[in-house]
Structure 1
Amino acid sequence: MADHRPSPPAARRTARPGAVPACPSCGDLAGRGYPACRFCAELVDQHRLVDWQELLAAEQLTEGGAGERELAELVLADDTGAHPWTCIDWAMTLTLCSHCGEELGTGPVDCVRCAVADERRRHWDHTGFPKEMSALDHRLRVARVVLRAPHRHRTAIVDTWRLLLPFLLDGRLPATGDVRRLRAQVLAGGYADLAAVTSYDDLVAFPELPWRRSAPVEHQADTQRDQHATRKPFERPADTLPRQQAPQAVEHRDDDQVPAGVDGHPHQGEQQ
């Protein structure tokens, strides 16, 4: 039987910068101005573009040529895992949604085709983990997806990935708890203070906010129990009626979730 190897590796042809410089164009940390700042956009997208250029060369096509968009459509129509994730992302960037006319995956939240395309892209993460896609790859991908379509995600999530992106480009892999703590600080209105930090260690060193910690369940007050005791014998208190337990909300993978490895836990130590 032939050795089937789905989801070829990607983003291995460009080196990490080894530092987090200031962007000469927007003045913020390099990458944080993505995608509006051209320099930041080139820095973030270079990993995808290099892999895409290799695919173009293999197909004897040129960048910007007539066959490039056709190739993008063929790549997106292929089976999951047939192409590197970087090529999938770039093919979506080159493709306009037939329903809303926006870049595929970045249209309005009610665009069905954009939603389906984005979900199909996310399925790649699970087929590619852990050998072909590292935890750092995943988080770089999530950050780019969120920042290219901020209207499709919660503001706190957008701001959190914008803060982290320069350090992800440098190869830093934040722990899940660090991402959540940072998002809590953003929710509390701390984005400006966080954006002024130029060190990754200082960025994730902000303390956990008290209102984000697990609070003990308070016991029912005696006065409330006394009120229930005065009810008619067969009258059941409204707050004790059996209710169907609501399913626990599951975070969409636009924040800090990493596809689990074979042990069921996120891969935290993989850096490029």
Structure 2
Amino acid sequence: MTKAAYLSGMGLPAPFPPGGRRVPRPEAPVPCSNCGELVGRGYPECAICAERIDDLWWADWRALLDAERVQTGTDEERALAERVRAASVGAFPWTCVDWALWLLTCTVCGGQVGSGDLGCVDCAAADGARWAWDHQALPVAMTPNEHALRVAVAGLRAPHRHRDVAVAGWRLALPFLFAGELPTTKQAQRIRALLLAGRYAELARCRDFCAMAHLPDLPWRS
């Protein structure tokens, strides 16, 4: 008997409840009516992109609020966020773990917990701790696409903590990750090389990972 089955039989919640599955994903990337980019590429600055992407997280947090009979925007919600942050790995959906961090303010740097100043040790610790969920849940309770989606959103919420090429890669990928796609290792390596070559604008015109990875070399680099 698996641990999840045992806990279920005891009337206890199973570990690593999945996240981000209450809201349907688009079948393919679509243009944003606000910023004109593919939905997600303007995240988090574009209000429409942010709303569409964050809905995956909000739906799970809303369900937790309802289960706990807590109202949003209250001290009780912040107390719940602290409880989620302090809980053992796998006690809550990864989306709820992220939302809890987004609600909390770092007492050291004043930013969002896990997304504050680059030199903030507390934020670095909180950001590092969240990924234990992924490492222990993959591939059963979390798909590779969900992991990549989580990484991209976390990176775009704290671009100052990452290299420019990584941020550009997440921005390019997010619309396709949102639609359920995932690049192969070779595709990701090729796209990164093209980004390093300064070809973001050309990559942004592509409509899937395959097209980006097969963008031809410039004549003088062939």
Q: Is TM more than 0.5 here?
A: yes
Amino acid across the alignment from 2:214: A
Match of 2:148 in 1: 139
Amino acid across the alignment from 1:13: R
The correspondence for 2:183, drawn from 174, 183, 191, is: 174
Asked if residue 153 in structure 1 is aligned to residue 162 in structure 2, the reply is: yes
Match of 2:71 in 1: 62
1:71 deviates by 0.6
1:65 deviates by 2.6
Asked if residue 185 in structure 1 is aligned to residue 185 in structure 2, the reply is: no
Long gaps (5+) in structure 1: 210-272
CA offset digits 1:37-90 (Å, max 9, x no partner): 010001111111000000000100122233111110110011111110000011
Asked if residue 30 in structure 1 is aligned to residue 39 in structure 2, the reply is: yes
More helix as a share of residues:
2
- 1:188-207 correspondence runs (5 A): 188-207=197-216
CA offset digits 1:6-61 (Å, max 9, x no partner): 21111111111112111111111110000000100011111110000000001001
1:201 deviates by 3.2
Q: Percent identity?
A: 48
1:208 deviates by 7.5
Match of 1:13 in 2: 22
Asked if residue 117 in structure 1 is aligned to residue 126 in structure 2, the reply is: yes
Q: Distance in 2 between matches of 1:207 and 1:168?
A: 23
Q: Does structure 2 conserve the Cα–Cα contact (< 8 Å) formed by 1:29 and 1:198?
A: no
Equivalent residue pairs, number: 209
Larger radius of gyration: 1
Return 84-93 or 66-75, whichever deviates more: 66-75
1:198 deviates by 3.1
1:196 deviates by 2.1
Q: Distance in 2 between matches of 1:199 and 1:120?
A: 32
Q: Distance in 1 between matches of 2:51 and 2:192?
A: 26
TM-score (norm 1): 0.73
**Superposition CA RMSD, Å:** 1.6
Long gaps (5+) in structure 2: 8-13
Q: Distance in 1 between matches of 2:217 and 2:137?
A: 33
CA offset digits 1:81-117 (Å, max 9, x no partner): 1110000011011111111000111111110110000
Q: Does structure 1 conserve the Cα–Cα contact (< 8 Å) formed by 2:70 and 2:76?
A: yes
- 1:70-149 correspondence runs (5 A): 70-149=79-158
1:197 deviates by 2.2
Q: Distance in 2 between matches of 1:100 and 1:69?
A: 18
Amino acid across the alignment from 2:133: W
Match of 1:226 in 2: none
Q: Does structure 1 conserve the Cα–Cα contact (< 8 Å) formed by 2:187 and 2:210?
A: no
SS in 1 for 2:131: helix
Q: Distance in 2 between matches of 1:116 and 1:6?
A: 23
